[in-house]
Structure formats: structure tokens, C-alpha cells
């Protein structure tokens, strides 16, 4: 395992951190974590040198923290730094104490090393800034080690939040596709220059930068000067930035753990050659020419109040644009997606758009996706009335 610096703190994080937002599940139910497998994955990563574990009370519909707490029994807790988040807007100090103490109990710990205000944007920051004195008191009494924030908004808002408090660290979405989105490369440098450790989430863009690949992207990687899997290309690109303290991967299979551990062991800073960076630039250009909805599958828009399967529809829409397998994709939509879960069931209430960290115009995108999927229907599927 390779280790890096963590901002102003005298501590070395592993290059790879374990994100517990996408643990293996049973029967497709996010709330039913395959706990024996998840525990094996987490402990295998720790045994290989991973020392940063990230969770939140809202992950897996409330089940991530309990599973992580149990996985860190038998001496594993002492070997890692544990991060979790304040995922709700609280109205009083007593409400915060109750919330934090419940997290400590669920995680079976007496201290949370890194505590984040979760998913800050312009609106939520205005509401959650008031909780900072409570967090500072929890630092003083030992329940919290260090305070940070995770972020989903524009660069100007990111800089405002960085400058508003003496943070220890921040967590941003960063990958080779999103260099100019949200905090982006400029935000990465801005935070690091001010002494904040920067933890990166979504290095694979919610799995969008791995198999299956668009044919033109596949050909670019096939001709690259060095052989890497798509995941390795994406991870090494992020690790190449010395400002990055730790890269979180939300691993769902044991194979992914093994692959990411091997990649982390070979990681470095400012080691990618000009030819390798040119490969990434070419891949970026190809993806940008194909993708229709830049969804990272974070699931903040779900569940839809009216049952629309937003993530599924966007995935099929992007797949249609990138891979061109029209008959199979449209069959998935019209034959295997129940009608109440398709785009026309959207009531345009706006709840999804208010929750979307990427600020995607979801209502408009759903209409566009449905229209694209209607264009050429499988013969077995009659057209729907609009």
C-alpha cells in the first residue's frame, strides 16, 4: 500500500480508502447488505493496508453504519480512521447530541475520527453553518476528531465554504471527466493550498468509466502505450495529483477489492507520462461526445415520490447514446420496466431536482430519454400514448 499526506494533519492515509455506499447487497435491495461478504471485503482491505473507512447514516437506507461498526470489531477499529457524516439539518444542539450519540452507538465506537457536513451546496450551507459550534464542542469533548465537509455545487460556492471555517479536510467528486465540474481541478488546488486534506469520491464516476466501454474508447485504451484496465486508468489519473490525499472507492465485489488494492500498491504522484495523459484526454473527448445525462448514480434523487425509476431510465438513455444496442436497451425499457416506473409517470413535482447534487434538470431529461427510447421500438412493444 502507498501512503500520502493528509493536509495539515500529521497522519498518512492509504492511497485507497474504502467507501461503503455500494456494498454488496442481496436480491437487489440496497437495505439488505450481504454482511459476511461485506465484512470480508472491508477486513481484507484493512489487512492490505487501507486505513480510511468512509460511511454515512443514510447509505444503504441506514444499514451501512451498523455493518461497518460490526466489521471493525476484533481489533480492526484500532487500525483505521473512521469517517461518517451529519446527513440531516438539525435545529438544536440537543438534537445534534442525540444524532451524534446514536451514530457512535451504531458504529460501536466512542470517537469518530473524521466527521463531515454531508453534501454541502449553496442552500444547505446556509442552513448547516449553524451546526459548526456544536461540532467544535464535540471535538473538544473527544467524540469527534476532525471536522470536514463533502461537497456538490459550483466552484464559487466551494471556495466560499473552504474560506468560512478552519476545516481539516474536504471531500469532492473528482475524476478525469469532471475536471471543470463542481469543485474540479481548480477547487482541488484551492483547498490543498489552504492546508485542507482532499478526499476524492466518485473516481470512476459511479462506475461509468469502466466496462462496458464505448467502442471508440475501447480502441483508444487498446492502443495506449501501457496496458491498464479502465478502472486502473481512472484511479491512476486521480492518484497522479499530489493534492489528492485519499481516493475513495465504493466497492461492491471482492474482485473489485483485489483489483483496487493492486492498483493502489502501484500508485504514485506525477508519474503519468505525456503519452498517458494524452490517452485520457482522448477518452474524455469521446465520452463527452456521447453522454446525454451526466448522472453519477449517487441515488440522492431516489426514491421518486411517484415511483419513477430515474437512475434506471438515465442509465438506459446513456447506454443508448454510448453503445447503440438499440433493440436490447429498448426491450429493457418497454418489456422489463413496469409502466408506472417509466418516465411518463413523472408528476414534475421537482423533489428529485432539489435533491440532485449534480443539478441535473431531471424532469426535462426524463422527457428527452423517453422520446429517445420511443424512436425505434422493438416489434413486441406497442407505442405508448404521450
Q: Is the pLDDT of residue 60 over 90?
A: yes
Is 248 in contact with 201 (CB distance < 8 Å)? yes
Structural domain contains residue 158? yes
Domain final residue, candidates 250, 273, 288: 288
Structural domain contains residue 193? yes
Asked if 327 and 349 sit in the same domain, the reply is: yes
What would the pLDDT profile of 10-42 be if each residue is shown by its tens digit? Answer: 999 999 999 999 999 999 898 999 999 999 999
Q: Is the pLDDT of residue 378 over 70?
A: no
Residue carrying the nine cell digits 430519454: 369
| Distance from C-alpha of 300 to C-alpha of 289, rounded to nearest angstrom | 26
CA angle 361, 366, 372 (to 5 degrees): 125
| Distance from C-alpha of 117 to C-alpha of 150, rounded to nearest angstrom | 6
Q: Is the pLDDT of residue 376 over 80?
A: no
Compute how many other C-beta atoms are within 10 angstroms of the C-beta atom of residue 31: 11
In the chain, at which residue ranges do the beta strands (DSSP E only) sit?
16-19, 25-26, 29-33, 52-54, 81-86, 112-120, 144-151, 169-173, 197-201, 246-250
- Specify the range with the lowest mean pLDDT, choosing from 37-41, 123-127, 260-264, 366-370: 123-127
Is 251 in contact with 258 (CB distance < 8 Å)? no
5, three cell numbers: 499526506
Strands 29-33 and 25-26 come out as antiparallel
Compute how many other C-beta atoms are within 10 angstroms of the C-beta atom of residue 194: 15
| Distance from C-alpha of 336 to C-alpha of 317, rounded to nearest angstrom | 15
Domain final residue, candidates 288, 310, 336: 288
Q: For residues 320 and 57, which has the higher predicted lDDT (pLDDT)? A: 57
Asked if 265 and 361 sit in the same domain, the reply is: no
Q: Give the pLDDT band (50/70/90) at residue 152.
A: confident
Q: Is the pLDDT of residue 385 over 50?
A: no
pLDDT of residue 44: 98
Strands 197-201 and 16-19 come out as unpaired
- Specify the range with the lowest mean pLDDT, choosing from 230-244, 264-278, 296-310: 296-310
- Specify the range with the lowest mean pLDDT, choosing from 60-64, 71-75, 93-97, 322-326: 322-326
Q: Is the pLDDT of residue 206 over 90?
A: no
Strands 112-120 and 144-151 come out as parallel
Is 290 in contact with 322 (CB distance < 8 Å)? yes
Structural domain contains residue 383? yes
Q: Give the pLDDT band (50/70/90) at residue 323.
A: low
State phi, psi for 300 to the nearest 5 degrees: -65, -25
Question: Bridge partners of 146?
Answer: 114
Give this prediction's pTM. 0.80
Q: Give the pLDDT band (50/70/90) at residue 63.
A: very high
Q: Is the pLDDT of residue 384 over 80?
A: no
Domain final residue, candidates 243, 270, 288: 288
| Distance from C-alpha of 377 to C-alpha of 368, rounded to nearest angstrom | 15
Asked if 51 and 190 sit in the same domain, the reply is: yes
- Specify the range with the lowest mean pLDDT, choosing from 70-84, 151-165, 313-327: 313-327
Average per-residue pLDDT in the chain?
Answer: 91
Asked if 181 and 205 sit in the same domain, the reply is: yes
Structural domain contains residue 248? yes
Structural domain contains residue 1? no
Asked if 138 and 248 sit in the same domain, the reply is: yes
Compute how many other C-beta atoms are within 10 angstroms of the C-beta atom of residue 371: 12
Asked if 116 and 241 sit in the same domain, the reply is: yes
pLDDT of residue 325: 66
Asked if 301 and 346 sit in the same domain, the reply is: yes
Q: Is the pLDDT of residue 377 over 80?
A: no
**Overall number of domains in the chain:** 2
User: Exposure pattern of 147-177 as b/e (b: 16+ CB <10 Å)?
Assistant: bbbbbbbbbebbbebbeeeebbbbbbbbbbb
Q: What torsion, rounded to 10 degrees, do the Cα atoms 90, 94, 99, 104 define?
A: 150
Asked if 256 and 372 sit in the same domain, the reply is: no
Is 59 in contact with 119 (CB distance < 8 Å)? no
Residue 353, H or E segment:
helix 351-355
Q: Is the pLDDT of residue 324 over 80?
A: no
Structural domain contains residue 141? yes
Asked if 152 and 226 sit in the same domain, the reply is: yes
For the domain that residue 199 is a member of, what is the CATH number?
Answer: 3.20.20.100
Asked if 196 and 316 sit in the same domain, the reply is: no
What would the pLDDT profile of 113-147 be if each residue is shown by its tens digit? Answer: 999 999 898 888 988 999 999 999 999 999 999 99
Q: Is the pLDDT of residue 247 over 60?
A: yes
Structural domain boundaries enclosing 354: 293-386
Cβ neighbours for 53, distance < 8 A, ≥ 6 positions apart? 17, 18, 20, 42, 46, 68, 72, 80, 81, 82, 83
Asked if 325 and 360 sit in the same domain, the reply is: yes
Asked if 282 and 348 sit in the same domain, the reply is: no
Is 227 in contact with 10 (CB distance < 8 Å)? no
Amino acid at each position: 500500500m502507498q501512503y500520502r499526506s493528509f493536509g495539515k494533519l500529521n497522519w498518512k492515509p492509504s492511497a485507497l480508502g474504502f467507501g461503503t455506499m455500494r456494498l454488496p447487497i442481496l436480491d437487489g435491495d440496497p437495505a439488505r447488505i450481504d454482511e459476511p461478504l461485506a465484512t470480508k471485503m472491508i477486513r481484507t482491505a484493512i489487512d492490505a493496508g487501507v486505513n480510511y473507512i468512509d460511511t454515512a447514516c443514510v447509505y444503504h437506507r441506514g444499514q451501512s453504519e451498523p455493518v461497518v461498526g460490526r466489521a471493525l470489531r476484533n481489533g480492526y477499529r484500532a487500525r483505521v480512521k473512521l469517517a461518517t457524516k451529519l446527513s440531516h439539518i438539525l435545529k438544536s444542539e440537543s438534537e445534534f447530541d442525540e444524532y451524534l450519540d446514536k451514530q457512535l452507538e451504531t458504529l460501536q465506537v466512542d470517537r469518530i475520527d473524521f466527521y463531515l457536513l454531508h453534501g454541502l451546496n449553496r442552500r444547505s450551507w446556509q442552513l448547516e453553518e449553524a451546526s459548526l459550534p456544536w461540532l467544535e464542542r464535540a471535538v473538544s469533548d473527544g467524540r469527534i476528531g476532525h471536522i470536514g465537509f463533502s461537497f456538490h455545487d459550483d466552484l464559487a460556492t466551494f471556495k466560499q465554504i473552504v474560506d468560512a471555517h478552519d476545516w481539516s479536510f474536504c471531500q469532492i467528486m473528482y475524476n478525469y471527466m469532471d475536471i471543470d465540474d463542481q469543485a474540479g481541478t481548480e477547487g482541488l488546488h484551492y483547498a490543498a493550498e489552504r492546508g485542507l486534506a482532499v478526499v476524492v469520491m466518485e473516481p470512476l464516476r459511479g462506475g461509468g468509466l469502466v466496462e462496458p466501454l464505448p467502442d471508440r474508447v475501447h480502441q483508444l485504451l487498446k492502443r495506449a502505450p501501457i496496458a491498464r484496465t479502465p478502472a486502473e486508468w481512472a484511479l491512476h489519473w486521480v492518484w497522479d495529483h499530489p493534492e489528492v490525499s485519499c481516493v475513495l472507492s465504493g466497492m461492491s465485489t471482492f474482485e473489485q477489492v483485489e483489483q483496487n488494492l493492486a492498483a493502489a500498491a502501484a500508485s504514485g504522484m506525477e508519474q503519468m507520462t505525456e503519452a498517458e495523459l494524452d490517452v485520457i484526454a482522448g477518452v474524455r473527448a469521446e465520452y463527452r461526445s456521447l453522454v446525454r445525462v451526466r448522472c453519477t448514480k449517487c441515488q440522492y434523487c431516489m426514491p421518486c415520490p411517484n415511483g419513477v425509476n430515474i437512475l434506471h431510465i438515465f442509465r438506459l438513455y446513456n447506454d443508448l447514446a454510448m453503445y447503440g444496442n438499440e433493440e436490447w436497451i429498448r426491450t429493457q425499457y418497454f418489456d422489463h420496466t413496469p409502466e408506472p416506473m417509466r418516465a411518463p409517470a413523472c408528476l414534475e413535482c421537482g423533489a428529485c431536482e432539489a435533491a440532485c447534487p449534480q443539478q441535473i434538470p431531471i424532469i426535462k431529461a426524463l422527457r428527452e430519454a423517453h422520446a429517445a427510447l420511443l424512436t425505434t421500438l422493438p416489434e413486441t412493444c406497442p407505442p405508448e400514448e404521450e
